[in-house]
Structure 1
């Protein structure tokens, strides 16, 4: 019997409705971890003021590309910018890894009718977090590079590796074996995966646009809420993909 997308969406919505509070709490918890970690690792106020120093103050940057702007910076300004970028990237990566590990563990516990909570799911997911960290780092890097180059390769890579975290967590497989198996299954089931991944990418882009409207808001609460919304979007995709993988494994 073929797997229907409507069945997967219905299963995803049913699970989300039944575990809504836990999913929201997990999304906010991982958002808080990301924002706090990013804040702790980012340059302090004095260091950030360096970016407004003499290196680019006298230059009209309105029509400059990012590469030209960076080239106009002093070495100290470039170091501060690099540190700020690395802090944000690392904090986001850690939050995504904890979200994926804990959510996949939570789904497994609920499927096995075992008692669960957000903290229990996070605790039980610890053994798989290092593997997920490497996996998500590699796949995110490849997808981002693809999106930067021509966009289409990035979308194809996002589709190809979409099942990799589910496979790595469910089957206890290595990073590259999970990526290979994910690619094989994803391209064999494009009609089921492509719409979900595209909606996820568009929703994440919409959150980025929304975040840009809050550039003048310094409140950490706003950052946590926006990150939490982004995490909920990712959680919905993971739930969908987990259900799809379970059905494919049974087929």
Structure 2
């Protein structure tokens, strides 16, 4: 019997409704960890002043590309910018890994009819987190490179590796074996995976646009809330993909 997308969406919504409070708490906790870590690792206010120093001597930056803008900076400014970028990237990566590991553990516990809480799910997912960290890092890097180059390769990579975290968590497989199996299953089930991944990418892009509008309003609170919203979107995709993988294993 073929797997129907409507069945997957219905299962996803049912699980989300039954575990809504836990999912929202997990999304906000992962967002808080990400924002706090990013704030702790970011350059200090004294260092950030360097970025705006000597800006009057720079040419008009409105028509510059990012590469040209960076080339106009002094070595000290480039160093601060690199540190700020690395802090944000690492903090986001850690938040995503905690979200994925805890959520996948939570789904497994609920499926086994075991008692579950957000903190218990995070604790039980701890052995999985190092593997997920490497997996999410590689996946994010490949998707970002693909999106920067021609967009389409990035979307294809996102589709191909979408099942990898679920496979790594469910079957306790290594990073590269999970990626290979994910690619095989994803391209064999494009009609079920492509729409979900495309909606996820569009929703994440919308959240980024919202973030740009709230940079001046309660920045830390807005950052946690917007990160939490982004995490809820990712959680919905993970629930959908987990259900899909379980059905594919039974087929």
Q: TM over 0.5, yes or no?
A: yes
Pair 1:175 & 2:175 matched: yes
For the Cα contact (< 8 Å) 2:58–2:72, is it kept in 1?
Answer: no
- C-alpha deviations, 1:16-63, integer Å up to 9, x for none? 000000000000000000000000000011100100011664321111
State the 4+ residue runs in structure 1 displaced beyond 6 angstroms: none
Distance 2:122 2:167 in 1: 18
What is the aligned partner in structure 2 of residue 145 from structure 1?
Answer: 145
RMSD of aligned residue pairs (Cα, Å): 0.8
Distance 1:62 1:181 in 2: 45
What is the aligned partner in structure 1 of residue 161 from structure 2?
Answer: 161
Residue 7 of structure 1 and its aligned partner are, at CA, apart by 0.1
Give me the TM-score of the superposition, normalised by structure 1: 0.99
For the Cα contact (< 8 Å) 1:43–1:83, is it kept in 2?
Answer: yes
1:121-132 alignment, distance < 5 Å? 121-132=121-132
Give me the TM-score of the superposition, normalised by structure 2: 0.99
Pair 1:247 & 2:247 matched: yes
- Name structure 2 gaps, 5 residues minimum: none
Q: Once structures 1 and 2 are overlaid, which stretch shifts more, 222-231 or 208-217?
A: 208-217
What is the aligned partner in structure 1 of residue 4 from structure 2?
Answer: 4
May I ask how many residue pairs the two structures share in their alignment? Answer: 251
Query: What is the DSSP-based 3-state SS (H/G/I as helix, E as strand, rest coil) of the residue aligned with 2:125?
Result: helix
- Name structure 1 gaps, 5 residues minimum: none
1:35-184 alignment, distance < 5 Å? 35-54=35-54, 57-184=57-184
What is the aligned partner in structure 2 of residue 205 from structure 1?
Answer: 205
Query: What is the DSSP-based 3-state SS (H/G/I as helix, E as strand, rest coil) of the residue aligned with 2:62?
Result: coil
